[in-house]
């Protein structure tokens, strides 16, 4: 699902209650081809929630500070430019498997003089590089994983607030 509307700087809140297994995400600055900054919702072994991935972007990037083990209640640190904000043993207090969680990524450091679709310098991903900025649309993605019959990706309460 992708918005028709295009956004400048924005904050989006998404409530999610995903089963452990499927691979999904929130696409920020997406186009119809699925090229975007992906806020990861990869709730599976070796997956991550809230990491950032350059979906289809050249050059790409993949930033995350933890990985799931084969259990939804366990995480292990992953080397990243930003440290893990909680201790792995505190993860079950923060993320309760089977409950609804709200996630609120804020994208306000992307307004540039270059129009969407042009090449620009970007340093917020931890290093300075040139990437193509997709149009400013928002999308929900389900990539796959799980068994497709008993494991589901659930989103509700999607709210988008434009920042001035």
| pLDDT at residue number 69 | 96
Q: What is the mean pLDDT of the chain?
A: 80
Distance CA 101, CA 97 (A): 9
| pLDDT at residue number 77 | 94
| pLDDT at residue number 134 | 58
Give domain limits for the chain: 10-162
- Output phi, psi for 10, to 5 deg: -155, 165
Distance CA 30, CA 7 (A): 11
**Residue 105 tokens, joined:** 């990524």
Confidence (pTM) = 0.78
Instruction: State yes or no: cis peptide before 158, omega within 30 of 0.
Output: no
CB atoms within 10 A of CB 55: 23
- Output phi, psi for 7, to 5 deg: -125, 150
**Spans in the chain with pLDDT lower than 50:** 109-130
| 2-20 residue pLDDT tens | 899 988 888 888 899 999 9
| pLDDT at residue number 66 | 93
């Amino acid at each position: 699902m992708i918005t028709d509307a295009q956004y400048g700087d924005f904050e989006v809140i998404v409530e999610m209650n995903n089963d452990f297994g499927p691979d999904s995400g929130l696409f920020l600055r997406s186009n119809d081809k699925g090229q975007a900054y992906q806020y990861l919702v990869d709730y599976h072994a070796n997956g991550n929630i809230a990491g950032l991935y350059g979906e289809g972007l050249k050059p790409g990037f993949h930033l995350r500070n933890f990985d799931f083990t084969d259990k939804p209640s366990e995480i292990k640190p992953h080397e990243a430019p930003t440290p893990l904000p909680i201790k792995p043993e505190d993860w079950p207090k923060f993320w309760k498997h089977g409950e609804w969680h709200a996630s609120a990524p804020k994208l306000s450091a992307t307004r540039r003089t270059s129009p969407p679709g042009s090449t620009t310098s970007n340093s917020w991903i931890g290093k300075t590089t040139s990437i193509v900025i997709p149009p400013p649309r928002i999308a929900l993605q389900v990539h796959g994983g799980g068994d497709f019959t008993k494991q589901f990706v659930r989103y509700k309460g999607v709210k988008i607030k434009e920042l001035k």
